[in-house]
Amino acid sequence: MGDRKHALTVSLHDNIQLIKTTLGNSPDIVIREWHSDRSDPFEAVVIYVSGLSDAQIINQFIMSPLLSSNQDEHAITDSSSLTDSLDFIKKRLLPVGEIQVEESFDKLLVGILSGKAAILCQGVNYGLLLASKGWEERGVEEPTSQTVIRGPKEGFSENIAINIALVRRKIKDPNLWLEQFLIGEVTKTDVSIMYINGIANDKAVQEVRDRIGRIRLDGILESGYIEECIQDNGFTVFPTVFNTERPDVIAANLLEGRIAILIDGTPFTLLVPAVFTQFLQSAEDYYQRADISTLIRLLRYAALMIALLAPSLYIAITTFHQDMLPPVLLISLIAQREGIPFPAFFEALLMEVTFELLREAGVRLPRAVGQSISIVGALVIGQAAVEAGFVSAAMVIVVSITAISSFIIPAYNMAIAIRILRFGMMGLAASFGLFGILAGIILIVQHLCHLRSFGVPYMSPYAPVIQEDTKDAAIRVTWRDMITRPRSISRKNPIRESGPQTLQQGPTAEVEELLRKK
């Protein structure tokens, strides 16, 4: 389709032939002709794609009114011209909510391939696009990647219109604005950005527009395409764009000043800007009491440190710093390692790689057997490896605790980043002991402090320190004390109790200008 620019002509036959040729005479393109009974013939066609459009909507709300108009002597016969006839069809004949006038052939074709029905008639160089989408789709179900004990059980689906409606259900404010884009030279994927005007940072909104506008791909099939194209730094293992399939998470972050990016065809919605602490928070943190949420969050931070450092600490201490261990524990570890042919680093590497293989196998296998295979495989292989003398029992315990800790991290992409860094920390520990681990931590912290997400420091509110924002970072205070929005995200309208200016609170300058004109 590329750079082709076509305009519709007044010849109905030429328009139909152009559509057929462009689509390769595909058999799923339905072209239904219709003729009026008036003295000067009025020819028109209804065009739609079988499977993308709802046949019942087309038959009941488009074809039926058109056919019944032939029996109404005061209908189209009163129209003085063909243009008036098409205008009569649009305004008085079709009981369809969304009708769009389109003169461009390319845009008309995109509309048809998006599930809409098109009406073209002889002698008129424009057509009508009618809302008639009706393909099979998954309904609103409980999210599978971010489950909660207490909280809403609804999650996004693959339909962007449903996803937008789920967010609007939670934020009933006229300042919740939506902007739409068409991305992908071939797929023509609907992409929308959503933000609350008066809370979101205007510069951040414009930056999102610019980055999405610069995307040049032939296809967008999932939100990961957009995420990789708009992220600030591509040379990092840490995610700088947050994704979620929960409408309540999107609503809560919109109220803090963030911007949501919704993509048609995927239940995962993107959020920017994103900070490090955001990936260690769960939606349920805000549905439980503050003290419970704080305890669970601190537990996640401890789990993150264990997942990153546990194997490397074991390697460093058993290889270089045995004098740090109590004598009884040291004797026990030496007895376990007696007969082990590998050094501690290769022992840990062997177990970590084995566990990663089992984890991926559990994900790729059918759901009915995947979980049982991964658990049984880990137990059997671990026990067999100890009995065969390949690894020590202590190493199996360390790797198991590390794996359990990595599962506690709520964000899957952050857990993957920690898994990648764990291997690097193991190498530093095997080479330089605790000094290598310390050097690795310094490099990681320095890298994190260098990262930004749409202009926001990745480690805020701790680097730089923003005292007000620490109320909802590693700990969470009560809602009565959390009266300000994060200053690092947006400094517009910083008080939570005062929402953006609405029509009930007083019209904006633009609304006042429109009222004066009327």
Q: What is the 3-state secondary structure (H, E, C) of 424-485?
A: HHHHHHHHHCHHHHHHHHHHHHHHHHHCEECCEECCCCECCECHHHHHECCCECCCCCCCEC
H or E element in which residue 398 lies: helix 393-408
370 vs 340, more confident: 340
Strand ranges (E), 15-91:
29-35, 43-49
Provide long-range contacts, Cβ within 8 A and 24+ apart, for 85-89.
Answer: 85/36, 85/42, 85/121, 86/44, 86/119, 86/121, 86/124, 86/126, 86/128, 89/44, 89/119, 89/128
Which two tokens mark 166? 């789920």
517 vs 312, more confident: 312
**pLDDT, tens only, 399-431:** 889 989 999 999 999 999 999 999 999 999 999
Q: What's the rounded Cα separation, in Å, for the pair 343 and 324?
A: 19
Report the pLDDT value the prediction gives residue 510, as an integer from 0 to 100: 56
**Is the pLDDT assigned to residue 223 strictly greater than 80?**
yes
**pLDDT, tens only, 427-468:** 999 999 999 999 999 999 999 999 999 989 999 999 888 888
Which two tokens mark 482? 């959390």
- Buried-state track 141-169, b at ≥16 Cβ within 10 A, e below 16: eebeebebeebbebbbbebbebbbebbee
44 vs 459, more confident: 459
Question: How distant, in Å, are the alpha carbons of 155, 172, 175, 190, 194 from that of 168?
Answer: 14, 6, 11, 18, 10
∠ Cα 25 61 104 (to 5°): 45
Report the pLDDT value the prediction gives residue 99, as an integer from 0 to 100: 84
Whole-number average pLDDT of the chain = 85
Percent of the chain with pLDDT over 90: 41
What is the number of residues in the chain? 518
Q: What's the rounded Cα separation, in Å, for the pair 70 and 74?
A: 9
55 vs 79, more confident: 55
Which two tokens mark 345? 């680093």
**Is the pLDDT assigned to residue 39 strictly greater than 60?**
no
**pLDDT, tens only, 88-136:** 777 777 777 788 888 888 889 988 988 888 988 888 888 889 888 877 7
Report the pLDDT value the prediction gives residue 269, as an integer from 0 to 100: 95
The average pLDDT across 348-367 equals: 82
The average pLDDT across 358-382 equals: 70
Contacts of 292 (CB under 8 A, 6+ apart): none
User: Which class for 428: exposed (0-12), middle (13-18), buried (19 or more C-beta within 10 A)?
Assistant: buried
Residue whose tokens read 């007000």: 468
Report the pLDDT value the prediction gives residue 504, as an integer from 0 to 100: 45
**pLDDT, tens only, 466-501:** 888 889 899 999 988 888 888 888 888 888 876 665
**Is the pLDDT assigned to residue 262 strictly greater than 80?**
yes
The average pLDDT across 166-191 equals: 92
36 vs 202, more confident: 202
**Is the pLDDT assigned to residue 7 strictly greater than 60?**
yes
Q: Where do the domains of the chain lie? A: 12-130, 160-273, 290-450
**pLDDT, tens only, 207-220:** 999 999 999 999 99
Instruction: For residue 305, name the pLDDT band (cuts at 50, 70, 90).
Output: very high
Task: Check if the beta carbon of residue 344 is closer than 8 Å to that of residue 385.
Answer: no
Q: What's the rounded Cα separation, in Å, for the pair 262 and 251?
A: 13
Q: What's the rounded Cα separation, in Å, for the pair 477 and 297?
A: 12
Which two tokens mark 12? 């109905």
Report the pLDDT value the prediction gives residue 368, as an integer from 0 to 100: 61
12 vs 446, more confident: 446
Instruction: For residue 80, name the pLDDT band (cuts at 50, 70, 90).
Output: low
Report the pLDDT value the prediction gives residue 512, as an integer from 0 to 100: 56
Report the pLDDT value the prediction gives residue 369, as an integer from 0 to 100: 62
Percent of the chain with pLDDT over 70: 88
